[in-house]
Structure 1
Amino acid sequence: MIIFEYPFNERIRTLLRLEDLYEKFIFFLHQEHPQQHHVALATIFEMLEVAGRADLKSDLLQELERQKQTLLGFKSNPNVASERLDEVLSDVDRSLVALMGSQGKTGQNIRDNEWLMSIRGRTIIPGGACEFDLPSYYAWQHRSPQQRFNDISGWFAPLVPLFDAISVVLRLLRESGRSTKTIAQAGSYQQMLQGKVYQMLRLGIDESLGAIPEISANKYMLWVRFTSQDGDMKPKSFENDVPFELALCNF
């Protein structure tokens, strides 16, 4: 199954973008080639661009606190698995404490580092991080893989609480949706939402079908139109029935 996710608002869109960048960062951080560590460092700069909203941290704190109070309300429910509930509450508490303990604006330690900012300024330019443009960076890339790993990990460390909080919030959001099996007749599907507000849609489809969903939605209506790709990667309408799983997620 391929899972496609569609955010219903800018707030969730930002969190999903940051999650995607974080997964990319972790992958390249744990490689050893200098070019792979260059991608890891450049990804941190992308994270700062996306996370530049001043209210992101406060949004996450408010959401975590709200989720904590909601979860505490399930404590007296005999139908709730207490061990699982305690585990989730522990994760929320840990993220809350760590995020509240993080100081200053997101990524301020990187913005205060003139050397890193000089690299950031050059990476925006196509081919701008060549050895003749940034000889000190070129020399750094010739350090041992472990030294580069330690440096990048240290620069990223102040951002860890933010991304831990994003992980917890998105996990809770995904788990809020109940998946239902449905069929898109002749590759098209519509559903009335009747004004109910959702945060995110999750759509699962068998990858062997070769169907690709194009999703649009507002608080009244959800549309899914499936397409496929030919050898030139051009999209064309998928005219067969498409079975898929749909989950609408909301806190």
Structure 2
Amino acid sequence: MNSIITYEFPLNERIRVFIRLEQLFQQFNHFLSGATVADTRAAINTLLDIIMILRRNDLKSEILKELDRHVNVLNKIADNQSVDTEKLEQLLAQLTHTSKRLYASTGKIGAHVMESDLFQSIAQRSSIPGGTCSFDLPEFHYWLEQAESNRLKDLEHWRSPFEEIHTAIDLILNFIRNSNSSTDEVAEAGFFQIALDRSLPYQLIKVSLDKSIPCFAEISGGKHRCSIRFMIPSSDDKRPIQSQDDIPFALTCCLF
């Protein structure tokens, strides 16, 4: 069992959206593996959230820019003797392959999902709390009562347009999270402040601490300065308070 808990703080809106999508894709895959009707309902609700984010953001062009930028960074360090050449070439191949597939895709991402009359009906009624009951959507109720294999086939079909986006986001976030090594720090009386070098393209702050420490990290700030407060959760419905103890933690300022 992992004894470390990590808190992440994105330093720009692009990374914030990427992490939200990453979480939603993880949730969708979790519910997709479930066999119950409740799992199927949860998977569809999660897919609707994914579609909503993609509708609001021009993510395809943002992701392609990020992939191209990471390829350029890796090409620049390729001649460094300390670099694992084989691993670098594998990563470059992954980035290039994903980028080509995204460039080759046409139209708005996921547009064909809404061509399904059933999915359109579910999407329309889902804006109403509890709006997808059997008396609201008898067709949906019928579909939910079909064999698990039939429901899974449709869910896989509805998910397929988003697979390249999912792969690209995983590659980008993994690259960013592993772009720098962590340092051991201590938050005196539960408080720590970071001043970031403005000349470097920081993307993400990671704070890791042992789960045995009865605090959570509250991170605030922007791309030039961040504050970390270690808060003690309340057990009696009162607001959390800042710890007065010195809290050891690992800090990673992620680049690229």
2:135 aligns with one of 129, 132, 137 = 132
Q: TM-score, normalised by structure 1?
A: 0.95
Q: Secondary structure at the match of 2:251?
A: strand
Q: Is the 8 A contact 1:54 1:105 kept in 2?
A: no
1:118 equivalent in structure 2: 121
Distance 2:67 2:40 in 1: 32
Q: Is the 8 A contact 1:212 1:227 kept in 2?
A: yes
State the partner residue of 1:185.
188
Normalized against structure 2, the TM-score is what? Answer: 0.94
Deviates more, 1:7-16 or 1:52-61: 52-61
Which residue identity does 2:216 align to in structure 1? I
> How far does the alpha carbon of each residue in 1:48-76 deviate from its partner, in whole angstroms, 9 at most, with x for none?
11122452101111211121122122232
Deviation (angstroms), 1:186: 0.7
SS at match of 1:230: coil
2:153 pairs with one of 134, 150, 155: 150
- Corresponding residue number in structure 2 for 1:43: 46
Query: Is the contact between residue 102 and residue 161 of structure 1 (CA under 8 Å) also seen in structure 2?
Result: no
Distance 2:137 2:6 in 1: 41
Q: In the alignment, is residue 243 of structure 1 matched against residue 248 of structure 2?
A: yes
Q: Find the residue that maps to 1:118 and give its secondary structure.
A: helix
Describe the SS at the equivalent of 2:29. Answer: helix
1:160 corresponds to which of 159, 163, 174 = 163
Deviation (angstroms), 1:98: 1.9
1:57 & 1:223 partners in 2: Cα distance? Answer: 32
Aligned to 1:92: 95
RMSD, aligned CA: 1.4
SS at match of 1:209: coil
1:65–1:95 CA distance, 2 compared to 1 (3 A)? same
The equivalent residue for 2:144 is: 141
The residue type paired with residue 27 of structure 2 is K
Equivalent position amino acid for 2:161 in 1:
P
Say which SS state the counterpart of residue 55 (structure 2) adopts.
Answer: coil
What CA distance in whole angstroms lies between the structure 2 residues aligned with 1:85 and 1:116?
41
Deviation at 1:198, TM superposition (A): 1.6
Partner SS state of residue 28, structure 1: helix
Higher mean C-alpha displacement, 148-157 vs 52-61: 52-61
Deviations 1:64-100, CA, capped at 9 Å, x for gaps? 1121122122232221111110111121122112212
Q: Residue in 2 aligned with 1:13?
A: 16
Distance 1:219 1:148 in 2: 44
Q: Structure 2 vs 1, CA of residues 213 and 149 (structure 1 numbering), >3 Å: closer, same or farther?
A: same
Hey, what's the Cα distance between the residues in 2 that align with 1:168 and 1:193?
25
The letter for the 1-side match of 2:121 is S
CA contact (8 A) 2:12 2:223 kept: no
Measured in 2, the distance between the counterparts of 1:53 and 1:64 equals 21
- What is the CA-CA distance between 1:107 and the residue it aligns to? 1.5
CA distance, structure 2, for counterparts of residue 195 and residue 75 of structure 1:
25
CA drift of 1:231 comes to 1.9
What is the one-letter code of the residue matched to 2:25?
Answer: Y
CA distance in 2, matches of 1:109, 1:233: 46
Tell me if the contact between 1:181 and 1:244 (Cα under 8 Å) persists in the aligned partners. Answer: yes
| Distance of 2:222 and 2:160 partners within structure 1 | 38
Distance 1:116 1:206 in 2: 44
Matched residue of 2:212: which SS? helix
2:24 aligned counterpart, secondary structure: helix
Question: Percent same amino acid at aligned positions?
Answer: 34
Question: Does the Cα contact within 8 Å between 2:190 and 2:245 map onto a contact in 1?
Answer: yes
Deviation at 1:101, TM superposition (A): 2.3
